[in-house]
Structure 1
Amino acid sequence: MRKYFGTDGVRGIANEELTPTLAYKLARAGGYIISKYSHHDGQKPLAIIGTDTRISKDTLKYALMAGFTSVGIDVIDAGIVPTPAVAYLTRFFKADIGTVISASHNPMEYNGIKFFNSQGFKLADAIEEEIEDLIEQMENKKDIINSPTHNAIGRLVKRENPKEAYMDFLQKIVNTDLKGLKVVLDTSNGAAYKIAPEVFKRLKATVHTIADKPNGLNINWDCGSTHPQNLQKAVLQQKADIGLAYDGDSDRLIAVDEKGEIVDGDKIMLICAKHLKEQDKLKDNKLVVTVMSNLGLHISAKQNDIDLSITGVGDRYVLEEMLKYGYSIGGEQSGHIIFLDYNTTGDGILSSLILSSILKQSKKKMSELAKIMDIYPQVLVNAKVDNKFKQTYMEIPEIAQKIKHIEEDMAQEGRVLIRPSGTEPLVRVMIEGKDEDKITTMANELAQLISEKCK
């Protein structure tokens, strides 16, 4: 059982669970382990650090810098930049380690530390475990890491402007004149607050920005991809062609059409996959999605002759599948979309630029493009269970019988997905279908049965 690393780095309430002391140890142990696997050609190893806008970024950043430099690693401070910027800049600067200080779409009191390897990918589980083992040794007063002295100590180093390098990268990929397109950007008072509007302006779009005044406390507060209602209003007020919302670290995108209707990650992925297919750039004709993507996406993909590859829930599984076969696009309903030809992680600004350039080239309205799929009603109910039943609930005859009955009932017009939660004592019941009342009743009845039988 891992003590620090979860599915997406180390997270917790800043200065309570995620302390500067832990950040220092993570950098010291992480720097030592990760640089062991890198090739420096006689140079000092190099780390790059980027943060979102949370108030706790400074205390954690300087603790990380102290940890890295204490084991002889030089550090580039990229400042406030999106998570995908760090993934790109790690490769751009030929750094050994990319480090992000962010808790993504979580409230401001949380923060997180995430490492990328020299290729800009999240660390393998085995390397995270090695880092944990080393931290355990440090806590037991058995710090085996050498502390260099004299000129071998790491330092803060300056390189060409990291933000400019990332903006150039985005501009070159999209390379479309967006003149005449009016966009509203909701930057979630987060990491995209300067970069996203600047890139859209450089591409000649007319830009109106909301939630772009971070104060350290307002990240994700009633704004961004998880709270798009203010963006919907702003699009209508501004008579804009499209609205685009990022989350706190800008690795997700949710869009809004000119009528103020939400265009979720499923629709964005399909629009982009269809465009790539038309350009002969959809590798093996495949779009990678998770089991949580809407039934409407499955039906539309078939109609548009796009093949799907389906993975478990989580962007790491999407990425694994894409890397294995070299697929070009994949993602989640939440708007975490990976364009593997360009970057190694979901990139909200990149996704928004690609979607905007497709909109401009199509000469259609966003609402027309969004008609690519119908969203089927989707009901998700959590059944509380005793942990010991999380994996064995199907062995209880009444539950197995009820699930079989629902699956047969929904076979022609819907979908049933039941899975244990990865982190809590819950079994999640998800049913999709045309009749919302019917599936709501079914989902509630099944969840109640599972809870009763798995106390």
Structure 2
Amino acid sequence: MSDLKFGTSGLRGLVTELGDDVCAAYTLAFLTHMQDRHAVPADGLLLVGYDLRSSSPRIAAACIAAAKAFGMRVENCGPLPTPALALRALSLKAPAIMVTGSHIPADRNGLKFYRPDGEIDKADEAGILAVLDREKPAAPESDDAEISQEALQRYVERCASLLAPGVLSGRRIGVYQHSSVARDVMVDILTKAGAEAVGLGRSDVFVPVDTEALRPEDVAFAEKACREYKLDALVSTDGDADRPLISDEKGNFLRGDMVGLLTARFLDADAVVTPVTSNTSIEHCGFFVKVYRTRVGSPYVIEGMNKAAADGCRCIIGFEANGGVLLGTSVGTADRSLDALPTRDAMLPILSVLAMAAKEGVPLSQLVNGLPARFTGSGRIEHVAAEQSAAFLKSLEDAGTVEVFFADVGSIGESDRIDGTRIVLSSGDLVHYRASGNAPELRCYTEAASKERAAELLAWGLERARRALNDKLSDREFSR
């Protein structure tokens, strides 16, 4: 269990590390913590759902068996989007466990925990670890509990209620289905809104679609599909459908933070909460009364939304650079209204962006072109241990070191360390380094006034960091 850890989106690890006994231990620790800190009764209800990875049903069965052995009643929600499970948990005021590795490869998986009032926070993570039985319990017998469709049905009804019937009439929308747990839900909901939904790319093998680091084959697929099928847009999600993927009519994917910005605009938000990795078009556009910046990860966005609520904001929308939108308050459009759902959701931004373009009678590309021209880049250096990333970021806290480090690209204008090190050059260009919360890698983000400059900065930033990391490793080996 020592190789498993909580990241920005729950507990993650290799499938080989997530044996039945380990899953049972974490389930029991979660339920013990829920009893101790959140007044969940010993014989209360637990919800369990999972994505379409080949390992997920087995892990879910282990969690269900452990919960029943603990004395809980269990509703097996089966394969469904993470936000659908969260919606059901909130409505029943019950804890929940989602078995998902989101966008990471199929040899990995994870557990995402929900309190009766929403996602667990960092204090809950510490509480779970504090009561985790280091002596692995006996592996529970597999439990094939009957699947309830109630949670999925409620979610589909919620999504369909956002838009009036026919809003997307005349729009031909491709649905890149791959192995998304929402692949059929997307077709159903878009059809209800009047669109001609075309299912494409369905896969029986898990496809690790990462909305922040698209594979070349995903980009090529979008361009070809939009051209061949004459699509107005192509939409998809990651594996557990809490992060959207949207391309315009030319097959160009919209950045997740621009999807979030457009969603917040469509819903008439007065406050936006988003991590420092989202680009500064959010401030430059002038659409929102307040913008709150946070560390990366939904727990921090939720903290920011709570602060916005305490500040008296009317309509609070949180989103991450991956495009997942969190609804901090109930919202209403000209057609419908939705209750708050403070967890990442892919369908809300997909429907909002498509409806915005349809109502304005413009292609998706025109929506994006109307936003302030800020261009971004992102990349990662893989196989960088957490302690290496920490040492690298620590070195950039020294003003003299930072000045020398960035001398090749410009002088320092301002900086912050909300999450990693984020440097704004005097030119307005931006370079941001942070350690990934989900994998052993160092991430680099850039922003500039042109696409070419953002790409140039990203190439420089990655290479400069590689040199620094290699220098530190060489120094350490020499000292030994």
Question: Scaled by the length of structure 1, what TM-score is found?
Answer: 0.83
243, 249, 252: which one pairs with 1:252? Answer: 243
Equivalent runs, 1:219-298 vs 2, <5 Å: 219-220=207-208, 226-227=214-215, 228-229=218-219, 230-277=221-268, 282=269, 285-298=270-283
Equivalent runs, 1:50-449 vs 2, <5 Å: 50-92=49-91, 94-119=92-117, 121-136=118-133, 138-139=135-136, 161-177=150-166, 178-213=168-203, 215=204, 217-220=205-208, 226-227=214-215, 228-229=218-219, 230-277=221-268, 282=269, 285-299=270-284, 301-302=285-286, 304=287, 307-326=290-309, 328-341=316-329, 342-373=340-371, 374-378=373-377, 385=388, 388-395=391-398, 397-403=400-406, 405-408=410-413, 410-419=425-434, 430-433=445-448, 434=450, 436=453, 439=457, 443=461, 446-447=464-465
User: 1:264-287: CA deviations, max 9, x gaps?
Assistant: 21221222222233xxxx1xx222
Q: Secondary structure at the match of 2:119?
A: coil
Taking the aligned partners of 1:380 and 1:122, their CA distance within structure 2 comes to 28
User: 1:133-192: CA deviations, max 9, x gaps?
Assistant: 333354499xxxxx9xxxxxx995776732212111212233453222221112331210
| TM superposition shift of 1:58 | 2.0
| TM superposition shift of 1:33 | 2.5
Q: Secondary structure at the match of 2:267?
A: helix
Question: Where does structure 2 lack aligned partners over 5 or more consecutive residues?
Answer: 310-314, 330-339, 414-423, 474-480
Question: Where does structure 1 lack aligned partners over 5 or more consecutive residues?
Answer: 142-146, 148-153
Taking the aligned partners of 1:376 and 1:99, their CA distance within structure 2 comes to 37
Q: 1:185 to 1:124 in 2, by over 3 A?
A: same
Taking the aligned partners of 1:186 and 1:386, their CA distance within structure 2 comes to 35
Q: 1:188 to 1:37 in 2, by over 3 A?
A: farther
Q: Secondary structure at the match of 1:334?
A: coil
Taking the aligned partners of 1:332 and 1:250, their CA distance within structure 2 comes to 14
Letter in 1 for 2:224: K
Q: Secondary structure at the match of 1:27?
A: helix
Contact 1:242 1:366 in 2 (8 A): yes
Letter in 1 for 2:188: E
Q: Secondary structure at the match of 2:411?
A: helix
Taking the aligned partners of 1:321 and 1:184, their CA distance within structure 2 comes to 34
Q: Secondary structure at the match of 2:447?
A: strand
Taking the aligned partners of 1:365 and 1:453, their CA distance within structure 2 comes to 49
* Aligned-residue RMSD, C-alpha: 3.4
Contact 1:315 1:336 in 2 (8 A): no
Q: 1:101 to 1:399 in 2, by over 3 A?
A: same
Letter in 1 for 2:240: D
Letter in 2 for 1:394: E
Taking the aligned partners of 2:411 and 2:380, their CA distance within structure 1 comes to 15
Taking the aligned partners of 1:422 and 1:396, their CA distance within structure 2 comes to 26
Letter in 2 for 1:111: N
1:21 corresponds to: 21
| TM superposition shift of 1:19 | 0.9
Q: Secondary structure at the match of 1:61?
A: helix
Q: 1:9 to 1:200 in 2, by over 3 A?
A: same
Contact 2:11 2:112 in 1 (8 A): yes
Q: 1:5 to 1:96 in 2, by over 3 A?
A: farther
Q: Secondary structure at the match of 2:397?
A: helix
Contact 2:235 2:246 in 1 (8 A): yes
Contact 1:105 1:220 in 2 (8 A): yes
2:420 corresponds to: none
| TM superposition shift of 1:324 | 2.1
Range with greater deviation from structure 2 (437-446 or 258-267): 437-446
Contact 1:403 1:446 in 2 (8 A): no
Taking the aligned partners of 1:78 and 1:137, their CA distance within structure 2 comes to 29
| TM superposition shift of 1:113 | 1.1
User: 1:293-349: CA deviations, max 9, x gaps?
Assistant: 2344443x24x4654222222232222201221352121222222222331211112
| TM superposition shift of 1:11 | 1.6
Taking the aligned partners of 2:404 and 2:342, their CA distance within structure 1 comes to 43
User: 1:403-446: CA deviations, max 9, x gaps?
Assistant: 47532594234223344555788765544323527635753674
Q: 1:394 to 1:413 in 2, by over 3 A?
A: closer
Taking the aligned partners of 2:39 and 2:402, their CA distance within structure 1 comes to 54
| TM superposition shift of 1:106 | 0.9
Contact 2:211 2:243 in 1 (8 A): no
Contact 1:74 1:155 in 2 (8 A): no
Taking the aligned partners of 1:155 and 1:110, their CA distance within structure 2 comes to 22
Letter in 2 for 1:395: D
Range with greater deviation from structure 2 (357-366 or 154-163): 154-163
Taking the aligned partners of 1:125 and 1:445, their CA distance within structure 2 comes to 33
Taking the aligned partners of 2:353 and 2:57, their CA distance within structure 1 comes to 34
Question: Scaled by the length of structure 2, what TM-score is found?
Answer: 0.79
User: 1:92-137: CA deviations, max 9, x gaps?
Assistant: 2x15211101100011121111110112x22133333332233335
2:6 corresponds to: 6
1:144 corresponds to: none
Taking the aligned partners of 1:175 and 1:39, their CA distance within structure 2 comes to 40
User: 1:63-96: CA deviations, max 9, x gaps?
Assistant: 111100011111111111011111001122x152
| TM superposition shift of 1:224 | 11
2:46 corresponds to: 47
Contact 1:102 1:249 in 2 (8 A): yes
Q: Secondary structure at the match of 2:17?
A: coil
Contact 1:232 1:243 in 2 (8 A): no
